[in-house]
Amino acid sequence: MFPWLGPWIKNLTSLKEIVDMEVGELVRGLKETLNPQMCRVLLTCFLLVQESGNMDSLYHDNNLVFSVANLFGAGTDTTRTTLRWGLLLMAKYPHIQDQVQEEISRVIGSRQPLVEDRKNLPYTGSHGSQHQRLANIATMAIPHTTMSYASLSLQGTSVIPLLTVLQDDSEWESPHTFNPTHFLDEKGGFVKRSAFMAFSAGRRMCLGEGLARMALFLFSTSLLQHFRFSPPPGVTEDDLDLTLAVGLTLNPSPHQLCAVSQI
Ligand code: HEM
């Protein structure tokens, strides 16, 4: 996507070697216990198709390595960065943190949060969507290639979707503020918004959306159930800076926060 970055990525070869080694080890372990009656995970299904000999050109080892590497690559940095934004925004906007914690305490209490709790926590859900909207960590989605003539390009053109709709003036009442009411109706219920495309849209949208939403909900709800997040002594909420730090995804700049136990 950015050829001029090449010379900066000095460790690309060793990175690829490490990925090959790690995934190779994972695959060896799975092969030892491969059972055709138990096709539980993607890798097992892939290996079973390979073993059956009934495979087309897609089921080769290189594709296996890249599929696994893509899932780890696409799934870890994104979820981690989103959680970091969430904690920073909670510390910066304590009145919103108050309302999220009040809802969690009223609906869940001290038991462990469950995925099923999501539907009963509209404010917590709306703050989650809101912080994803504002952080917009994967603004540039992933490059795609047109397979046939499309109105915007010729066949074979690279297209990079921009997810700037997440902060579009014509879609959001206050596009650049942390305002959970974007996702709430008058009765305080959660509303889905079609312009909320943090996971992109269409046939090639994020494959891990369901997993990511579940992980984000469980992690952030558990963290806020147990801890109060605030700036460290001597730092005010206003000092917490929301300037982006550029990375693979759009990160918050480094901050120190206090996590004070609630229990
Ligand atoms: C907060 C977390 C996440 C965000 C914001 C996010 C966002 C995105 C976005 C914007 C795309 C680009 C879609 C496009 O090009 O139109 C994408 C693609 C993808 N994501 Fe995620 N993602 C997240 C978590 C995950 C997780 C947990 C996984 C898997 C474990 C995952 C796997 C993928 C894969 C495989 C693709 C490529 C899909 C394809 O090209 O068909 N993502 N994601």
- Atom number of ligand 1 nearest to Cα 197: 10
The fraction of the chain above a pLDDT of 90, given in percent, is: 53
Q: Which phi and psi angles does 127 have, rounded to 5°?
A: -70, -35
Q: Which residue has the tokens 């109105």?
A: 151
**pTM for the whole thing?**
0.89
pLDDT score of 55: 62
pLDDT by residue (tens digit) across 165-218?
Answer: 999 999 999 999 998 899 999 999 999 999 999 999 988 899 999 999 999 999
- Across the range 42-55, mean pLDDT stands at 81
The answer to whether residue 229 scores a pLDDT higher than 90 is: yes
Q: Has residue 96 got a pLDDT over 80?
A: yes
In the predicted structure, residue 11 carries a pLDDT above the cut 80: no
Place 100 in a pLDDT band, splitting at 50, 70 and 90.
very high
pLDDT above 70 for 54: no
In the chain, the domains with their CATH numbers are 93-261 (1.10.630.10)
What number is the average pLDDT over the span 240-256? Answer: 88
Which has more pLDDT, 61 or 227?
Answer: 227
- Percentage of the chain lying above the pLDDT 70 cut: 97
Residue 198: exposure state from Cβ atoms within 10 A (0-12, 13-18, ≥19)? buried
Q: Which residues pair with 145 in a beta bridge?
A: 158
| Mean pLDDT in residue range 100-120 | 96
User: 206 C-alpha to center of ligand 1: Å?
Assistant: 3
Say what the pLDDT of residue 151 is: 79
pLDDT of residue 4: 73
Q: Which residues share a beta bridge with 258? A: 230
Residue 181, Cβ density class (10 Å: 0-12 exposed, 13-18 middle, ≥19 buried): middle
Q: What is the mean pLDDT of residues 53-63?
A: 77
Which ligand 1 atom sits nearest the alpha carbon of residue 202?
A: 16
Cβ(101)–Cβ(222) below 8 Å:
no
pLDDT tens for 122-131 read 999 998 898 8
Dist. CA 12–CA 18, nearest whole Å: 10
The single-letter code of the amino acid at 200 is: S
Spatial distance between the Cα atoms of 40 and 32, rounded to a whole number of angstroms:
15
Residue with tokens 């926590």: 121
Is residue 258 part of an annotated ligand binding site? no
Angstrom distances, CA of residue 177 to CA of 75, 180, 182, 242: 27, 9, 10, 11
Mean pLDDT across 99-116: 96
CB proximity list for 147: less than 8 A, separation 6 or greater: 155
Atom number, ligand 1, closest to the C-alpha of residue 138: 10
Token pair of 258, please?
């206090």
Give the 3-state secondary structure of residue 259.
strand
State residue 28's pLDDT score: 83
Compute, in angstroms, the gap from residue 226 CA to the centroid of ligand 1: 29
Query: Using H for helix, E for strand and C for coil, what is the string for 55-108?
Result: CCCCCCHHHHHHHHHHHHHHHHHHHHHHHHHHHHHHHHCHHHHHHHHHHHHHHC
Rounded to the nearest 5 percent, the helix, strand and coil shares of the chain are 50, 10, 40
Task: Judge whether residue 102 has pLDDT over 70.
Answer: yes
Give the pLDDT band of residue 85 (cuts 50, 70, 90): very high
- Region 24-49: mean pLDDT is 83
Residue 6 confidence (pLDDT) above 80: no
Average pLDDT, the chain: 89
Tokens 């087309």 locate to 56
Q: Do residues 93 and 237 make contact, with C-beta atoms less than 8 angstroms apart?
A: yes
Pocket test for ligand 1, best of 41, 43, 78, 130 (most atoms within 8 A of CB): 78
Ligand 1 contacts (CB < 6 A) are 70-71, 74-75, 78-79, 82, 137-138, 141-142, 161, 198-200, 204-208, 211-212
Q: Is the pLDDT of residue 12 over 80?
A: no
- Rounded mean pLDDT, 40-50: 84
The angle that helices 61-92 and 42-52 make with each other, rounded to 10 degrees, is 170
Distances (CA, A) of 29 to 14, 34, 70, 222: 23, 9, 20, 33
- pLDDT tens-digit readout, 132-172: 999 899 888 888 888 887 777 778 888 888 899 999 999 99
